[in-house]
Amino acid sequence: MPTARFTAGFLSPVGWVRIDASDRGISSISFQEETVTTDDALPDFMNDAVTQLGEYFACKRQRFEVLPLAIAATDFQDRVWSAASEIPFGETVTYGDLAKSVQSPDAARAVGTALSRNPVVIVVPCHRIIPSTGECGEYAGGAWRKEWLLKHEGKKM
């Protein structure tokens, strides 16, 4: 039996956010430059994701409740994304610090590569990882979005 596919979108302060899922869980959350149309019927977990992301942007949520994710990852990516998910709202760590936390102290660049492939932005808060220079750094959704998200969380950049 084919797997059902769902799409939800909403306009956030940093542009359109698209959430894609199957009946097994969320497969991606990404920023979009164009309007995203929401399917008429969504599973409850998709509505929960939209609600939680809306609360995040409205400064009413700092941590996401468990959302079912259906994402493919290597073991290293999984470790990096899990560690990134533990970084508290409003805090940042360097790529090197994150590499140490996943027992790969010399893998700061590999950590950056894993983060650039994060399929669920904001929920896995890869925007909270910055270069050792203290600058904002790169971000798959655009450096300006990363800077906005960090300022939204109270970080001065």
Together in a domain, 82 and 51:
no
pTM of the complete model: 0.93
Q: What is the pLDDT of residues 18-76, one digit of tens each?
A: 999 999 999 999 999 999 999 999 999 999 999 999 999 999 999 999 899 999 999 99
Catalytic residue of the set 49, 53, 67, 126: 126
* Bridge partner residues of 120 (DSSP): 29
Together in a domain, 111 and 148:
yes
Domain that holds residue 99: 75-152
* Contact criterion met (CB below 8 Å) for 148 and 13: yes
Whether 62 maps to a domain, the answer reads: no
Together in a domain, 51 and 80:
no
Whether 94 maps to a domain, the answer reads: yes
Whether 70 maps to a domain, the answer reads: no
> Quick one: how far is CA 50 from the chain centroid?
13
Together in a domain, 91 and 45:
no
- Residue 126 annotated as catalytic: yes
